[in-house]
Each structure stands twice: as structure tokens, then as C-alpha cells.
Amino acid sequence: MSRRFTVVMAALAAIGLVLPWFVYPVFATQLLCFALFAVSLDLLFGYVGLLSFGQAMFWGGGGYAAAVLLQRAHVDDVFAILGGIVYAAVLAFLVGAISVRRSGIYFAMITLAVAQIQYFTAYQFTDLTGGENGINLATRGLFFGVHITSDRTFYYVVLVLVALGVWLALRVVRSPFGRVLQAMRENEPRAIALGFRVNRYKLAVFTLAGALAGFAGALAVLANRLAGLDMVDWHTSGAVVMMSVLGGVGTVAGPIVGAGIFQSLDYFVSKTAIGEETNMVMGAIFGLCVLLFRRGIVGSFLVPGPKRAKITD
Amino acid sequence: MSPDYLLTQVFNGLASGAFYALLALGLSVIFGMLRVVNFAHGTMYMLGAFATYYGATLFHLPFFAALIVAPIVVGLFGIVLERALLRHLYPLDPIYNLLLTFALVLVIENVVRYFAGALGSPYAIPDALSGATNLGFTIYPTYKLFVIAVALLMCAVVWYVVERTPFGARIRAATENPTLVRAFGIDTGRLVTVTFGAGVALAALAGVLAAPTTNVQPDMGDAIIIYTFAIVVIGGLGSILGSILAGFILGVVQAFGTVVFPPISTTLIFIVMVVVIVFRPAGLFGRPEGGR
């Protein structure tokens, strides 16, 4: 682990601890959720080279699952979150089983197309999902004995949970399993020749990434008390790709930074004359980033370190 | 269901399949030459429709002139994009040009929405094509027949140019082995630019044809590009014949699916795609090769 990486993580932790005292706590919680969401994408794109362009189906799917459980089954918040994770993991396993048969550009197109099935399901099964209105939730309750009705208290609960998710992602990419993933990214035929069943590894990491995205989505639903169609919209899949690339893929820390910067910038741009059409600015920044700055912010900062994102070259 | 009714559904399917086929064809032509999946293909379709609309409102450009002018204008715009932006990423993993063209989608679409508004504008069917034609078994909208005819004609033209002319032979050769083709003194860079412009022009032509059938609105490309992606995955990306056939066939499949179970109209193409990938990962007409 490089010293620079430690510096980045420490800075992120420090910002995370004080954030809800400087910005609106619900917005801050949203940032945390997107950070974990972006990390889930990094597991695929950064460490295996699989660009999932349908990651919103797990984020939104997990969010909707949690919301339906809360609204219909009146479960505790904890079980709603667990339900969101389980739903997203099962969905990711099924989608992964299909999509890991192809790689590269095909993988991106297939995940994008399959994610539309989740979108239209959420749109059309109005009895369960509320259709265009989404699912509005009442206040939050208890979380392991902690009252999470206050937005700021809930922020800190989410901070702990997101930190756990990020820790898990870091553990995975630094484990022998993670080494195999990176070997596949660098040279898949060689990984196959060494006897690794690459599709099983891909399916495993795809399921894990889906579960993490569902976890983040369920938390976002609890934070906003709303599960809406924008969560399963393919633009959200695109946005999380933009966040990750902007921050620097293959670094875990990069997508966290990218999520924070992307969300903040998007907010500031929306306050200018551009209004709702923020994507003309975000798209331009992202386009320049893809053309000139493929390592991303954190990726560039970590360059002297031993592990830099090879995929960016 | 009477045979006449079923036949009418076939025509409805072919009419929507015409758009899928034109878009999938352009996407495949571009992919075959550049190894770029043009995410902005739906955006170019949208620009084709807007060029038609503004051509009519600002310059009194008639529809039949727009069929020629709009694809040329949008195709030239595509050439500028290729020269200025896409070119820089060819040496890298093709995924980066997918990301770059995704950025183009966001920028172009939001700029159009900023100036034209999110709500669409109607564009009237030209007089010569309004009304209905008696097909014997049913009375069918003339304009839809026109769309089918134009799409079939363009598909035949593109197929002929690529497969049967010396120019097409160069394109196919440059697709297989660009280094060798350059060694023969052929400017592959120019071939790439021309191919991209032609593919974009096909998308714009689909947009012109779409203008009288839907509201001309900035997000019209969003809806159709993902269907087109699914269709080229089904047909086999890079396969010209596969894209054309998959486009028309999926149009018909969707029309029948909608009759049987209306809610499935939005997802049927994606479901078919999943089934195809399970049994034929390379698509119906694609050559099995490495993922890239």
C-alpha cells in the first residue's frame, strides 16, 4: 500500500467525518451512497476491465427492493437494506451469467440493454413500484437500537456502512482473488492458460459488485425516503461511469473522490443559467477526461505508487 | 386473428423495423471499419430529425429535399467529430471511444434541449405521402410504406457498395488488415472518415424518416439507441446483413409481441437478446471471435 494511497484515504475519512456540518445532511448521505456505488463499478471496470453500463439496475433494483419491503412488509430498516442487497446480488448473478460470456464493448452493450428490462419493470409494475411516482416512504425507525430519524444521525450510520463496503472492496482487490482479477484484466488468455476459470471469477466479482451497488442503492432510498425511476434510468448507469473515470478507475479511492466531485459540480452547475441541462457541462468534462486525463484525479495522484491503473494506457 | 390482421401486423413490424435496420446498419458499418461503437448514433438520428424540422421552419425545405440535405449536413458534422475527437483514441481499447461518444450524447442532447426545449414539435407528413394505400388485404398508411421502401432501398445500396464495388473491397480489406492496405498506398485514414460520415448519414436519414411519425424531441435518440444496441448484438455487431435482417425481424417480433401481450412491447427486444446470447454469444450472424 503506497503512502499516497493512505494520504487519500485519510483525507477522505476526515472529510467524511465533518461533511454533514458543512452541507445539507441528506445531500452528504447521497454523496456517500454514490461513492459506494462508484466503488462497485470500479471493481468491474478498474480491476477486471469489464465496463458495466447497466450498474443502475442493481443500485435502483436494490433501492426498489428495500422500498417495497418497507412499504409492503413493514420490515425493519436493517432487513430492508439486507433485502436490497440480496435482490441485487441475485439479479447480478443472473445478469452476470449471461453477460460475462462476452467482454469489452459487447459486455457494455449487453449490460446496458439488460438493465432496461429492470427499468421498464419498475415503470410498468405500478401496483408494486408506483410507476412514474416511485415509492414514497415514511420516516425511518431504529437501526440496531440507534434512532435514525435525524438526517445527521443517519448520515453517520451510512458513513460506517459505506466505510465497511469500501473496506470489503479493498480486501477483495488485495486478496489472491483480486490478483487473479487483475491478471485477467492484463492478459486474459494467459490467465486461462494458467488454469483459471475466468468466467467464474468474472461472475463472482460481478455478483459482488451488484450486491455493493444494491447496498448503496438501499441506503440512498432510506436517505431520500424515495425510490424513483431515475435510480434505474440508464443515465444513472452512465453517471456512475463518469464519476469513476473522473476520479480514476482501478484505485477504489478514485471513484469515491469522483462521486463527490461529480455530485458537487452537478449541483453547482444546476444553480447557473444552464439549469437542468447540467449534463452539457458534465458530459464535456467527462469527454475531456476520456481524451486527455484517463487516469483520473486520484489515479494521477497515485502515479508514483506501485499500482497504477494499467487499463488507462 | 384473421390472416389479414396478421399481415397488417407484419407491415407494422416492418415499418418500425425499418428504423432499427437503418440505425443498426450504420452502427455496424462504423464498427466494422473503426472498431468504434458509436453511442452517439441515436443522437445523430435525433439531429437528422431536427435538421428536417428546422429546415422546414427556417428555410422552407421540403421533406423530399430534407431526405438528401439532412443526412449530408449531419454526416459532415459526424466527419468533424471523427477528425477532431474520435481519431485520438483509436490506438486505445475501443471502450474509450464508447465513453467518448457517450459524452457526446450528453453534450449534444443537452445543448439541443437547452435551445429547443424538452418538449417536441410536430412535423407534418408531406402531402404526397399522407393518406392510405389499398394493399388488397387492408388499407395501409402510405407514409409507413414509404419508410419501408426507403429503408429497404438504402440497405440494398449499402450492401451493394460494401460487398460488390472496388470501394467496398477497400473498406473490407482495411477492416481485416489496415497495415497491409496502407502498404498498398491506400489512405486508410480517409476511408475511416468517409465510413464514419456515411454511417452517421444513415442514422440521420432514419431521423428524417422519423420526423413525421413522432414528435421531434431531444430525447428521441435515447429511446432508440439502446434497442439498436440490442439489435446489433442479436444480429452480430459488424455484420451488415445480420444487422439489416435483425432490424426488420425484431421489428416484426415486437409488433406481434405487442399484440399478444402489450406491456412486453418495451422489453421484448431485450429478452430476445438475452436468449440469443445464451445460445449464440456471437449473435445470429456474427463470427465467433474474441470479445473485442
* ipTM, interface predicted TM-score of the complex: 0.92
Residue A283 touches partner B, C-beta closer than 8 Å: yes
Nearest in space to B206 (alpha carbons), one of B42, B4, B90, B13: B42
Assess if residue A104 is contained within a domain: yes
Cβ(B228)–Cβ(B30) below 8 Å: no
pLDDT mean over A227-250: 95
- Range(s) of the domain holding residue A234: 3-304
Task: Report the alpha-carbon angle B267-B268-B269, nearest 5.
Answer: 95
Assess if residue B139 is contained within a domain: yes
Return the bridge partners of A227, or none.
A135
Our count of domains for chain A comes to 1
What's the confidence (pLDDT) of residue B290? Answer: 42
Do the chains contact at B102 and A116, CB–CB below 8 Å?
A: no
Assess if residue A312 is contained within a domain: no
What's the confidence (pLDDT) of residue A118? Answer: 95
Assess if residue A30 is contained within a domain: yes
**Is residue A83 pLDDT above 50, yes or no?**
yes
CATH number of domain containing A235: 1.10.3470
Residue A277 touches partner B, C-beta closer than 8 Å: yes
- Range(s) of the domain holding residue B177: 3-279
Assess if residue A182 is contained within a domain: yes
Our count of domains for chain B comes to 1
**Interstrand relation of A226-227 and A146-147 (parallel, antiparallel or unpaired):** unpaired
What's the confidence (pLDDT) of residue B188? Answer: 87
CATH number of domain containing B18: 1.10.3470
Chain A residues inside the 8 Å CB shell of B291 = 102-107
Which one of B101, B226, B243, B272 would you mutate to disrupt binding with A, by most A Cβ within 10 Å of its Cβ? Answer: B226
Residue B262 touches partner A, C-beta closer than 8 Å: no
**Is residue A101 pLDDT above 80, yes or no?**
yes
Do the chains contact at A98 and B274, CB–CB below 8 Å?
A: yes
B46/B25 Cα distance (integer angstroms): 16
Do the chains contact at B237 and A108, CB–CB below 8 Å?
A: no
What's the confidence (pLDDT) of residue B289? Answer: 53
Backbone torsions φ then ψ of A227, nearest 5 degrees: -110, 115
Tell whether pTM > 0.90.
yes
Share of chain B above pLDDT 70, in %: 98
Cβ(A114)–Cβ(A54) below 8 Å: yes
Do the chains contact at A245 and B99, CB–CB below 8 Å?
A: yes
Assess if residue A95 is contained within a domain: yes
Assess if residue A310 is contained within a domain: no
Backbone torsions φ then ψ of A285, nearest 5 degrees: -60, -45
pLDDT mean over A268-276: 88
Nearest in space to A250 (alpha carbons), one of A163, A164, A181: A181
Confidence of residue B45 (pLDDT cuts 50, 70, 90): very high
